Amino acid sequence: MPSTSPTPAPGSLTRDEAVRAALAAIAANDLERGIALAQQVNALEPNSNVGLHLVGLLSLRLNEPGKAVEAFEAAHKVAPDVREHIDALAIVFSKTGRLVDGLFYGKLATAAARDTGIPGMLPDWLGSFDQAFYKIADRPLVKEGQKLLLAGNYDGACEAFRREIEVDSRSLEGWRGFTEALYRARRLDDAQVAAAALVSVSDVSASDRRAEDLSLQALVLGACGRFDEALVAGREAESLAPDDATVAWRTVQAQGRRPDPDRAMLAALAERWGQRFLAHESRPSAAAPAEFATRRVRIGVMSGHWGHGEGLDLVIPAFEQLDRRRVELYVYADGLIDAPLARRLRARSNGWQDLTDLDFDTAGLMVRNDALDVLIDLDDPFVTNHAAIIAQAPAPHVLALYADPAVALAAGFTGVLADPAALGTDIDPRALIPVEGGLAIQPTDLPPLDLDALPVPAAAPGGFGGGITLGTLAEGTQIDGTTLAAWRDILAARPDATLLVDVAQLGGEASVQRIAGQLPQGRLRLCEPGPIQAYLATVDLLLDPIGNQFADGLVAAAAQGILGLTCRQRSPRANLVASWFERIGADELLAHDAEDYRRKAIAAIADPGLSRRFAERVAADREPAAAQQADRLLNAIAHLVNTPSQL
């Protein structure tokens, strides 16, 4: 328990008395008192080795080994022949898995000529070098970060990797993990900095994983909207590892983040990749249609993105409802295996496989050994890298849930599950496995919508009454010039409206500044940090960017009665939400081009009854949707496996 005795005033203790008191407070974990006493020591004797040593001990108690190393090294520099500083470095380096550094300082300590003469400078709670060395773990902070990363705790992983690189600024594992954790956490400004540092360290060390590091940088640059630079980094990565399908696919992935992308360009990139890596000749033969009279269809689904808000909330209910009498369901997970969505589908499955620690060749072999009729990738190919598995042609039919048909066929898929209305007429009809109305369903783990609890808009002209608050759930890179021009016109038409944005959601300050620079002055507001529910509670109308590929959050918001406007595009991924809006009859909130988007946004703001009508449609869709869409999905697959000539 922290001490309740008053901290001596500066000057009331000698230096040695203050040091001993500080050591006692640190040993008792009374860190507030320990900090105050250490400050007294440093005031009595500025830049003393003893004061710096106390700072190192306090840093260890605060779980900041990097800062502890910095302090002990500073103490050692002031007094290079004092044993306690050297021993402390040997212990800390050993505890953080630095075998070479731990041995170096351990040997150096044996030759140290003197000590401070103050008992307790190497306290019992710190342990000894011998104990730390014999229990040495290989980069424990890296292991902790990797474990947190796999569990989906991206903020925790960021912290573990940050502490790793504070201890060792040249740690490739630390920078690699830190970059990926920041990227997954959508802290994109920080991820850019970390990716640049990673590539710099990788270059200096001549890392055998430099191609992987460059391809990770390409992903980060693409997510930040720096697509030309991403292409350069991706091409360099490919030149270093020309036979690595995963590295090569990341070049395509990065370009796939473009808002309203050039479909022909992406298809050409995917085709270039496919020419190098696809193994069409190894694809298993499809079962004869007559077989399904005596057995169930074997369907496999694969995902690495089981977190809420990443798309699966909207489709898992349909797969859960697949008729067990007609379907055997196999689930392949390559991450977040303990997430609630993963556990839900695992409970429905006939077979479950964790692919997290497997290389892609082994993973592809395991999928092939399950003798599936159909494999469905539940993730957007531009988000999760399953390309190396798909390239092995592990099933007769391999379907993409989200991909553009031309990209999917070029990348090794045999077709795309999609609402036909989501696609143009210029696609190969063999590529489309039609599911009328798409597969989007309201997340079933949200409470039912209480129509009586909805905010009542003012009846007077102006709709919602008072100032209008517009919002968005998109990332900054999804908001391009076309969208900003539309938002500028909407705000100009409604002088009482402002756009409220979340800095973290947008990906950082750079995105905020770019957006603010293209909107009328004073019409952009920043929300207070907090949960997404608090943000939604303050928004009258959510605006989905034109051309946005990732509009999933609008459905979850709609399930809570929040209005949102979206725009139909020409890709299944972008149209997941648009098809759902159309299915429930929310035509007032589904635009078909930029001009229609402007018109419908302004009309929605001015319509006081729209909020209630929309909520009633959302509530009516809640109960029957999962079973209906499961039947449509199964009928589409049954037609596919019974019509092999479609391949």
If asked whether residues 395 and 472 sit together in one domain, one would say: no
pLDDT for 511 = 86
Strand locations in 227-361, DSSP E?
A: 297-303, 327-333, 351-354
If asked whether residues 45 and 186 sit together in one domain, one would say: no
Instruction: Give the H/E segment covering residue 105.
Output: helix 99-110
Residue type, 210: R
Q: What CATH number does the domain containing 518 carry?
A: 3.40.50.2000
pLDDT for 460 = 38
Rounded to an integer, what is the distance from CA 378 to the centroid of its chain?
16
If asked whether residues 392 and 462 sit together in one domain, one would say: no
- Specify the residue for token string 């190894």: 282
Assess if residue 10 is contained within a domain: no
* Gap between the Cα atoms of 209 and 200, Å rounded: 13
Residue 499 has pLDDT above 90, yes or no: yes
Assess if residue 306 is contained within a domain: yes
Beta carbons of 213 and 197 less than 8 angstroms apart: no
What does the block give as tokens for 613?
């009508």
pLDDT for 136 = 65
Q: Where residue 133 falls among pLDDT bands split at 50, 70, 90?
A: low
Query: What number of CA atoms fall less than 13 Å from residue 639's CA on the CB side?
Result: 13
pLDDT for 565 = 96
Residue 646 has pLDDT above 70, yes or no: no
DSSP code of 285? P
- pLDDT tens digits, one per residue of 395-448: 999 999 877 888 889 999 999 988 887 676 666 777 888 888 788 888 877 777
- Angle at which helix 188-205 crosses helix 509-516, to 10 degrees, equals 130
Residue 10 has pLDDT above 60, yes or no: no
Assess if residue 8 is contained within a domain: no
- pLDDT tens digits, one per residue of 332-364: 998 888 888 999 999 999 999 999 888 888 999
Assess if residue 4 is contained within a domain: no
Other CB atoms within 10 Å distance of the CB of residue 452: 4
pLDDT for 647 = 40
Q: Where residue 461 falls among pLDDT bands split at 50, 70, 90?
A: very low
Mean pLDDT of the 37-64 span: 91
pLDDT for 485 = 96
Residue 275 has pLDDT above 50, yes or no: yes
pLDDT for 455 = 62
Residue type, 310: E
pLDDT for 3 = 45
Assess if residue 3 is contained within a domain: no
If asked whether residues 431 and 456 sit together in one domain, one would say: no
If asked whether residues 492 and 604 sit together in one domain, one would say: yes
pLDDT for 179 = 97
pLDDT for 261 = 73
* Gap between the Cα atoms of 210 and 200, Å rounded: 10
Q: Of 102-106, 137-141, 226-230, 414-418, give the range with the top mean pLDDT.
A: 226-230
* Gap between the Cα atoms of 629 and 635, Å rounded: 10
Last residue of a domain, one of 233, 248, 280: 280
Residue 489 has pLDDT above 90, yes or no: yes
- Angle at which helix 172-184 crosses helix 188-205, to 10 degrees, equals 160
Assess if residue 6 is contained within a domain: no
Cβ partners under 8 Å of residue 482, min gap 6: 259, 260, 546, 547, 594
Assess if residue 9 is contained within a domain: no
If asked whether residues 334 and 231 sit together in one domain, one would say: no
* Gap between the Cα atoms of 496 and 466, Å rounded: 8
- pLDDT tens digits, one per residue of 158-187: 999 998 898 888 889 999 999 999 999 888
Q: Where residue 134 falls among pLDDT bands split at 50, 70, 90?
A: low
Last residue of a domain, one of 134, 168, 188: 134
- pLDDT tens digits, one per residue of 286-314: 999 999 999 999 999 999 888 776 778 88
Q: What CATH number does the domain containing 172 carry?
A: 1.25.40.10
If asked whether residues 566 and 429 sit together in one domain, one would say: no
Q: Where residue 458 falls among pLDDT bands split at 50, 70, 90?
A: very low
Cβ partners under 8 Å of residue 363, min gap 6: 332, 334, 355, 389
Mean pLDDT of the 199-209 span: 82
Q: What is the radius of gyration, based on Cα positions, of the chain? A: 29
* Gap between the Cα atoms of 158 and 187, Å rounded: 10
Please give the residue range of the domain that contains residue 248. Answer: 140-280
Residue 9 has pLDDT above 90, yes or no: no
Beta carbons of 232 and 358 less than 8 angstroms apart: no
Q: Total domain count for the chain?
A: 4
Mean pLDDT of the 609-635 span: 87
If asked whether residues 255 and 331 sit together in one domain, one would say: no
If asked whether residues 325 and 221 sit together in one domain, one would say: no
- pLDDT tens digits, one per residue of 79-125: 999 999 999 998 988 887 777 788 788 888 888 878 998 999 999 99
- pLDDT tens digits, one per residue of 571-605: 677 778 888 898 899 999 999 999 999 999 999 99
- pLDDT tens digits, one per residue of 365-401: 999 999 999 999 998 888 778 999 999 999 999 999 8
pLDDT for 5 = 45
Burial of residue 596 (CB within 10 Å: 0-12, 13-18, 19+) is middle
- pLDDT tens digits, one per residue of 476-488: 888 989 999 999 9
Query: What number of CA atoms fall less than 13 Å from residue 554's CA on the CB side?
Result: 30
pLDDT for 644 = 56
As a whole-number percent, the residues of the chain with pLDDT over 90 amount to 52
193: left (phi over 0), alpha (psi -120 to 50) or beta: alpha
Assess if residue 484 is contained within a domain: yes
Residue 205 has pLDDT above 80, yes or no: no
In 3D, which of 183, 173, 113 has the Cα closest to residue 140? 173
- Tell me the pLDDT of the chain averaged across its residues: 87
Cβ partners under 8 Å of residue 458, min gap 6: 464, 465, 466, 608
As a whole-number percent, the residues of the chain with pLDDT over 70 amount to 93
Mean pLDDT of the 521-534 span: 88
If asked whether residues 405 and 487 sit together in one domain, one would say: no
If asked whether residues 103 and 22 sit together in one domain, one would say: yes
If asked whether residues 39 and 130 sit together in one domain, one would say: yes
* Gap between the Cα atoms of 443 and 344, Å rounded: 13
Instruction: Give the H/E segment covering residue 325.
Output: none
Last residue of a domain, one of 134, 166, 186: 134
Q: Helical H runs in 440-522?
A: 481-493, 503-506, 509-516
